[in-house]
Structure 1
Amino acid sequence: MPKRSDWLIAFLAAALSVAVLALLGRDSGGPKTRTGAGAAPAGTLAAEPAASDGEGSIPPVANPKPAPADAAAVPAGPFWRGHPHEPRPFGNPDTHPMRELAVSAFRIARHETTAAEYEACVAAGACPARSCPDATPALRPRQPVTCVTWDAAAAYCAWAGGRLPTEAEWEKAARGTDGRRYPWGHSEPDCGQALTAACGANEPADVGTHPAGASPFGVQDMAGNAAEWTADWYAPSYYAAAPATDPAGPASGDRRVVRGGSFATGSRLSMTGYRSFLAPTQALPDLGFRCVWPGP
C-alpha cells in the first residue's frame, strides 16, 4: 500500500502542473484529464466531449422529501450566467455569451454532502461505497464526501428526496443575481473565504469552515474545498443555444459538468462561472456534490 506521504507528493505535484499550465495560457477553458478512480489532476487537456443532440430536461424527483431545515432558499427569477469576453485567465470560450436567464424556485443544501451523511445512505443500501485509491486518507464525519461517481452522487440525492442541481441552478445559488465573479463578490479569494490550492491544504476542510465565503443566498463552499457534480451533460457551445428559462443542459453527452474548484485547484477554477467536465465514472479525492429540492 502506498504511503500517505507518497500520495500527497503525487497529488500536490499534479495540482502544481495544472496551475503552471493555466498561467502559461495553455488552458482552453475545460478541465484537465484525470485518469483512474481517485487520480489527481493531470497536466494535459481533456478530449473534446461528444456533441449534444438537443435540449435535456430537469430530472424528476423520484421520492420527494422535504428539504433539510437549513437548506438555502433560492427564489425564482433571473440571474446572469457565464462570463464576458475577458483576457485569459478569466475568459473561457465555453462560458460565453454572458446571458440573463431565469430558473424556478428551489432549495439547495447549504453545505456540501458530508461523509457522515453519505455513509448513512451506504448503510441503508441506497448508495455504493466510496471509490478511492488505497492511499487516500479516511474522511472525518463533517468533511465533504469525495471519491464518488456521478451515479453515486445522484443516488444519494434521490435517497435524500432531492436531485443534483442543474448547472444553471448551481450557478445562481453560487453568484446570486448580479453576475459576481466569486460567491462573495469580485475580489480574489483569501483562505478565510475559500480553500484553494493557494492555502496549502492536502484535504478538504469540514463543511461550514468558511462562512466568509458564503454566496448571497447563504450557501457555503461553492468556491474551493470540494468540486461538485451537477446534473448536466457538458457541451462547449451549449450556452448560446440554451433556453432562457430553466436550462437543463444537453440531452446527451459523455462528460458531466463539474463546478466550484477544490482545495487542490487554483482560484480560477473556483470562479462562479467556470465550467469543468469529467466522465461520470470518475471518482476523485477532491470531488463531491450537494443536492437540491423543489422550492420555494
Structure 2
Amino acid sequence: MQHRTAVSTVVSALCGALALALPAQAASARQAGHIIVFGHRGASAYAPENTLDSVQRAADLGVDWVENDVQRTRDGALVVIHDTTLARTTNVEQRYPDRAPWSVGSFSLAEIKQLDAGSWFGPDFRGERIPTLQEYLDLLDDTGQGLLLELKQPELYPGIERQTLDVLGRADWLDRPHLARRLIVQSFSAPALRTTHRLRPEVRTGFLGNPPVSQLKQYAAFTDEINAEQHSVTAAYVKAVHGMKGAHSKAMRINTWTVDNAPAATKLVRMGVDGIITDRPDLIESATRRHT
C-alpha cells in the first residue's frame, strides 16, 4: 500500500507538470488519427451496465475510458444508473411490487442496495449491486481509467451539479491530473453544463446532442466537446465542430454514440471524429486501429 501511494504521488506530480501541455497533445493525437474509445456504461455488451463488474470487464479489455450515468436517491446519495426507473435493470418490481413506477429518486440508498442489478443480464451476475458514485470512483482509482460522467436528467435532482462536483472533489478527482486526462462531465442539459462550468470552470464538459452549426458558438462558451448520436454526424458537421474553440480555448472535440459495429466506426473515423462511445469497446478499438 505504501509503495502504491508513493508511486501515485510521483505520477500525480509528473501529470500536474504536464497538464498545460495536454490539450495540445490531444489535438496532435487527433491529427495523427488517434480515436478514443469509451466503454458505454462500462463494457455493457459483456456485463450488466453501469455496475462495477462492467467497469472491471472494460478494464480487462484494455479500455482506457468508461462512460456512466449519475442520479440521486431519496435520501441524497449519488448512484450510478442509467434509467430514471429501477424497473429495467433490477428486481425492484418483485421486491417492491406496490411502489410503481419505481423511480430512482423515490428509494433510499439502503433500499437500492438490496436490489439485484445483475440477474436481468445473466445468471452469472446475480447479486450485482447498483454502485454509488464514490464506489465507482474507487474502482476507477484502481483501474486507472478515465470517466465520462453523465448528469442524467438533472432537472429531476436540483443541485446535483454541485453535489457531483463535491463528491468528485472529496475523491481527489478535481486535481490537475484528473482534470487534464481522466474526467469529462457531460449532459443532455445545457443548463446543467452551464452550472457545472460556472461552479468549476476547469472541468471539461461535453454536450450530448447535435446543436445546429449556427448555435455551436453558444455551446462553445461552456463546453469543450459535442457528443452526438452517430446518425446525426456528417463530415461537414465534424469540421464545423473542430473549427470552434471551446470553453478552454482549444479546438472543440466531437465524440459519437452508441457505435457497436465496425463499418459504422470506420465511417466515423474517416469523417474525423475524436472518440466513439460503444457497448463493445474491444470490437471498436480493433476497428479503429485498422483505419488510423
TM range (shorter): under 0.3
In the superposition, the TM-score normalised over structure 2's length comes to: 0.25
Larger Cα-atom Rg: 2
Q: RCO (CA 8 Å, sep 6+): is it higher in 1 or 2?
A: 1
